Amino acid sequence: MTPETVADSALSQVRAAPSLDEALVHAGQAVVHALRDAMKAAGISKIEPSLAALQATQLDRLLARSLAEGAVDHRVVRRELDRLMRALSSRAIAAADLKAGILAFDEAAQRIALAAGRGSAFKYPTVGNRARDSLITFARSLHR
């Protein structure tokens, strides 16, 4: 299957999804697939662990949603962090995986914003970004 057909297939599943949650599942898969190709082309190392962490934390769905919205909404991040806290408390996910997922999200978002350039396609500044600050602060709180 060619990359275009995989992405098209995922997008058609997004369109056919009955709910936003299910749509974001497929959207996240499309983004992960495109990310894999982009990271390989850029010569980035440790691709699979990074993408696995992104999917384990379901932050690929946040990335997909943010791409569609053109930016990472700090209110959406707040809700995601609440979800991740609950997952951590119930031991559904380990702190190390959570930290890795947040860092993978942050790096992917930075690279996409860099590629988008100064246009409005996707913005993710490293300064004055409430969403990013919340994510990194949370990751730091998990770091020992």
Partner 1 sequence: MKSFEISRGQVGAGIVPVAPHAVPTSLPAPRADKVQLEPAANAPVAAGLAHTAPSVGQQELPTTTALDVLSSQKADAPHRRGRTAALRVRDVKTEADASTKRAFKPLVELAGPLQDALAQFGIKR
The Cα angle at residue 108 between residues 85 and 52, in degrees rounded to 5: 60
Which of helix, strand or coil describes residue 71? strand
Q: Where are the alpha helices (DSSP H) in the chain?
A: 3-16, 20-42, 47-56, 59-69, 74-89, 95-116, 130-142
Q: How far is CA 45 from CA 40, 72, 95, 140, in A?
A: 8, 25, 22, 23
The pair phi, psi for residue 11, each rounded to 5°, is -65, -35
Q: Which of 83, 86, 78, 63 is nearest to 131 (CA)?
A: 78
Out of 41, 75, 91, 118, the residue judged to bind partner 1 by CB under 8 A:
41
Nearer to partner 1, 21 or 90 (CB): 21
Nearer to partner 1, 77 or 112 (CB): 112
Out of 67, 93, 98, 131, the residue judged to bind partner 1 by CB under 8 A:
67
Out of 1, 2, 5, 15, the residue judged to bind partner 1 by CB under 8 A:
15
Out of 49, 68, 85, 130, the residue judged to bind partner 1 by CB under 8 A:
68
At its nearest, how many Å lie between partner 1 and the CB of residue 54?
13
Decide if residue 111 touches partner 1 (CB under 8 A). Answer: yes
Binding site for partner 1 (CB under 8 A): 7, 11, 14-15, 19-20, 23-24, 27, 30-31, 34-35, 37-39, 41-43, 64-65, 67-70, 99, 103, 106-107, 110-112, 114-117, 120-122, 126, 136, 139-140, 143-144
